[in-house]
A and B are shown apart, each in its own frame.
Chain A
Amino acid sequence: MSVNEPITSAVVTVTVNGTESEHEVPVRRLLVHFLRDDLDLTGTHIGCDTGSCGACTVHLDGVAVKSCAVLAVQADGATVMTVEGLAGEELTPLQRSFHEHHGLQCGYCTPGMLMSASALLAENPSPSEDEVKVALQGNICRCTGYWNIVEAVVAVGKGEAA
């Protein structure tokens, strides 16, 4: 839907984790704050203010993006998936693999890591170690040194997650 005259607040319709809803948001509200504060989806995190850390990574129309570098109003009409939307009754193989390979410690970067990694796996189901590193380059982790995270994602591709 186009917006022909400048506005400072808008009613947006978004489908988040399969549920469509309408919200009035100020234009200046970032998608990450919309998700966290307006929709109460607090699994998406914030670790920086320069678009560097990737803790806020979500899928916007199926593509991994940093939700701190998108306005909520830009998601109007779009489909968003957050970490809360990954698992159904059971954890996904990727989530289980993070658990089994000790791919998380404090868990703060984990939602963003999972969203970046799941976007990669959707495109490339059996990534190499280097491909995983490239896919996770936009996500900072300060606890693990990345080794176990990379191992966890590679293992999913090899079908090793239980």
Chain B
Amino acid sequence: MSTTETTTATETTTLQKGYVGQSVPRREDKRLVEGQGVFFDDVKRHGMGYLHFVRSPYAHARIQSVDVSAALALPGVYGTLTGDEVAILTDPFFQIAADPGGQVKDYALAVGKVRYLGEPVAAVVAETRELARDAAELVEVDYEPLEVVVDARASLEDGAPVLHEDCGGNLSYTGVWEWGDVDGAFAEADHVVSISQLHFDRFNSTPLELDGALVEWNRGTGQWAITTNNQFPGFAVIMMAPAMRVGTDKLRMITQDIGGGFGNKITSHPQLVACCLLARKLNRPVQWTEWRTDFHQSMSHGNERWFLDTEVAVQSDGTMTAFRTKAIDDAGAYLRYEPLGGVIWSQVAPGMYRWRNLRLEFTQAMTNKAPVSPNRGYSRMQHLWFTERIIDIVAQELGFDRVELRKRNYVQPEDMPYETPNGCVYDSGDYPRALDLALELIGYDTVEQRRAEAVERGKLLGVGIGSTLDSGTNNFGQSQLLNPELQFSGNNEVATVKLDIFGEIVVTLGTTPQGQGHETTAAQVVADILGCDVDLVHVRAGHDSYWNSHAGFSGTYASQFAVTGLGAVKGAADELAEQMKTLASMVFQCPIEAIELADGFARIAENHEAALPFMALGAIPNANNAGFPVDPPPMNARFVFRPQFDVPDKEKKFGNLTLTYAMQIHACVVEVDPETGVYEIVDYAAVDDCGVRINPQIVEGQVMGATAHAIGAAMFESFVYDDEGNLLTPNFYDYHVPHALDMPPLKTSSVESPSPFTPLGTKGMGEGGGGGIHCVCAALQDALRAAGGALVTDSHNPYHRVWDMLRHPERSRDTVEVVKQ
């Protein structure tokens, strides 16, 4: 089921009615359904060697020695690389953090110490994949095991084992974020609710394709060609080039198809450097494929976060005036993209609510676990879950209706654009309307009747809501709120649109899509602007830095293509249209204003007989340019889209951190078996508002994907460590991800509130803000009201946790108190 309605009619797009807004079937699909996609592991080169990493079996240990002689002696082994070599050949990666986190020394391979289980210690390259692994087993590493710390709270205590001695402890970043008059709001509050501990669990979205690369070293030019699936090549080269002591142009980043990313493929730069060093050392192409267990043990976990000593100020009418809390974030063993999570959450500091007084003490700790990296909904998901938990816990404890409490406190449509207490600007949206739609889809008005029916079947039924924002198009200036020395701000993306010799329109993007359909949506936008059939527009698949269609922030991450990517496409297509009209006006010797682009021609609007086909326009500058008194326009436009941002105020931690705020409301109904804690989602609805939808089918697909990730995270997916730092869910055998039979029925709907700030009225979307995680938590809490009234204080609720809540509701109830009645 799918419905759409348009709310505010802020028409910012100037496009004629055409392909934009239609579910044009994706042009990427044909090659993919035929098995003709080109993923990094599909690319082969003559004489290439396969790389296998030797990984640490300890979570924390000193490396006494590494002996590769037995591995090198094995026939078919081409060579090895150790941490000692890496320490000589490279500098530590640049750190985003100021001190103390800035003192972390992070290399392509472990140097001196290992700090998490699975950390690459050495690498072997051999003739076959199997042989490389055989040889890796022959590398002898002598470890001196050290004490391990896996709990972020414990890692900050005195006497905890220290991961990075240079940091003087395990703290990577701490800061107080406070806006409004928090103390005043609490003094005037009618009620204060305190929640001693909430926990957002560690998981990630586990893209089906793992990381990897084929790296070729060109001895003549000193350049590496890196065919990889890194989803943020702009960031990767900024990390890699200085460490390798070369310019960024020495690193040619190439990608065609990527098998899912979800942020998890942003931080593969250490492994890519190891591949580069070996390709140079061995003077042969080096191929690295990561396997599932490697990935689970060592790559890209999502940020685990604790919220301690939360207090919420509430007026007797339900108006929420303030909250304060202490967040402790677990970065794992290295700061690969961190501590950016320490600021990203503040894009959505008050969630979807009109909280004006907030205080959040953010502390990030390092532990002997895999390093974290962005994961769909990065850092906002944790925070939005927290704000939603507040709403439902306060509602239950003070006796408010959850729907009414939300509607009372939501930022209202008439408030838009709405400036949050920390200077972010929510561009548009109608949250109450979207909530109504979601509740309608799950039949909210019949819930009590269904609850009674469920009781007769021995089941506990509950309904839950998760309302979230999908903030998109980062202002990278927010990084300066963590480290004032950083020289990053704003954002950009690049597109090139040209008209080739036979009239082909060729579009080159800077992005690295992983299934978001960029080739399709870019073609829709260009076809509308140039007035031609969408099939005439060829959008190159993938990314190649040789194409000169990229900039420092190029990539596909953080919900922004519809704004920055398509903004660049629109800009370039507008420029090309201007060039085409100019050329036509030169040919017809008429004013440019008389020319229109339509039906695949540049023609005089008043006289369709005077028409130049695109082929003629393309041929003139390219191959038939004699006799022109002035240079014909080049039929080639490169456009850098730059959103308007200021650098935020570092003192007040104030400023606009993201350009757009898409929104999703999720609602679901669960049934719990009170005897076992086993539960099932029996009804589910997701309502999305991402402004103008270029391609509704693709948007809906993103909503579905975000929903599936959320359901997985809520019910099944968790990276669980034991006290020795062993990962107990190291692959799909124990880390269960939802399969087809695990999925509930889904209903989707949408609202369209165009963004007033973007060229096409679009908003970045796709992350979903973890809305589904919260709606499952809330539905469980609702179901358990009739069985002891446990409060859900964890984002991840496998069956055993639900069973515990049924047996011991007091354990969670005791963590919540109404301090002021």
Contact = CB atoms under 8 A, between A and B. Distances in A.
Give yes or no for direct A-B contact (beta carbon below 8 Å): yes
B740 A50 contact: no
Interface string B545-564: 00000000000000000000
A95 B33 contact: yes
Contact of A106 (B38, B515, B741): B515
B64 interface: no
Given A49-B731, A146-B743, A107 B701 contact: no
B743 A42 contact: no
Given A99-B29, A106-B258, A106-B514, A134 B741 contact: yes
A98 B39 contact: no
B752 to A, nearest CB: 19
Interface in A11-46: 26, 28-29, 33, 36-37, 40-46
B28 interface: yes
Contact of A50 (B39, B129, B207, B732): B732
A87 B293 CA distance: 34
A143 B292 contact: no
A80 interface: no
Contacts of B25: 99-100, 102
B34 A105 contact: no
Contacts of A150: 740
B129 A33 contact: yes
A147 B31 CA distance: 22
A45 B708 contact: no
Given A40-B44, A44-B35, A50-B733, 12 more contacts: A28-B130, A41-B35, A43-B34, A43-B37, A48-B292, A53-B732, A102-B701, A107-B515, A138-B739, A139-B740, A142-B205, A146-B743
Contacts of A47: 208-210, 259, 292
A140 B33 contact: no
A84 B42 CA distance: 14
Contact of B257 (A50, A106, A139): A106
B29 A104 contact: yes
Q: Per DSSP, are chain B's interface residues mostly helix, strand or loop, or mixed? A: loop
**Most chain A CB within a 10 A radius of its CB, from B32, B291, B293, B705:** B32
6 contacts: A26-B130, A84-B36, A91-B30, A107-B259, A134-B741, A147-B746
A95 B34 contact: yes
A82 interface: yes
Interface of A: 26, 28-29, 33, 36-37, 40-50, 52-53, 55, 82-84, 86-87, 91, 95, 98-100, 102, 104-111, 114, 132-134, 136-150
A74 B12 CA distance: 62
Contact of B731 (A37, A52, A91): A52
B813 interface: no
Given A47-B208, A134-B741, A145 B704 contact: yes
Nearest to B38: A42
**Most chain B CB within a 10 A radius of its CB, from A98, A110, A150:** A110
Contact of B208 (A29, A55, A83): A55
**Most chain B CB within a 10 A radius of its CB, from A49, A87, A143, A147:** A143
Contacts of A148: 701, 704
A154 B260 CA distance: 25
Chain B, interface residues (CB within 8 Å), range: 35 or more
Interface of B: 23, 25-26, 28-39, 41-42, 44, 129-130, 205-210, 257-262, 289, 291-293, 514-517, 697-698, 700-701, 704-705, 707-709, 711, 731-733, 737-741, 743, 746
A140 B210 CA distance: 14
A98 B739 CA distance: 18
A136 B739 CA distance: 8
Contacts of B259: 45, 47, 106-109
Contacts of B731: 48-50, 52
B704 A110 contact: no
A106 B698 CA distance: 12
A59 to B, nearest CB: 13
B209 A83 contact: no
B704 A107 contact: no
A144 B30 contact: no
B707 A52 contact: no
A9 to B, nearest CB: 12
A137 B35 contact: no
Given A42-B41, A137-B740, A106 B36 contact: no
B260 A108 contact: yes
Contacts of A84: 34-36
Contacts of B209: 45, 47, 106, 108
A52 B33 contact: no
A42 B740 contact: no
A52 B732 contact: yes
B203 to A, nearest CB: 12
A134 to B, nearest CB: 7
Contacts of A44: 35
Contact of B29 (A41, A98, A132, A144): A98
Nearest to B294: A49
Contact of A133 (B23, B26, B206, B740): B740
Contacts of B39: 42, 45, 108
B208 A53 contact: yes
**Most chain B CB within a 10 A radius of its CB, from A28, A44, A48, A109:** A48
Contacts of A136: 739-740
B737 A140 contact: yes
Contacts of A55: 208
A102 B705 contact: no
Nearest to A138: B739
**Most chain B CB within a 10 A radius of its CB, from A49, A109, A140:** A49
A55 to B, nearest CB: 6
A42 B35 CA distance: 7
B515 A105 contact: yes
Contacts of A49: 291-293, 731
Given A99-B30, A107-B29, A114-B33, A48 B732 contact: yes
Contacts of A41: 35
Given A102-B701, A106-B257, A106-B515, A43 B35 contact: yes
Contact of A102 (B41, B697, B733, B739): B697
Nearest to B705: A143
A144 B704 contact: yes
Contacts of B291: 49
Nearest to A28: B130
Nearest to A41: B35
A145 B743 contact: yes
Contact of A147 (B514, B697, B743): B743
Nearest to A85: B35
A145 B707 contact: yes
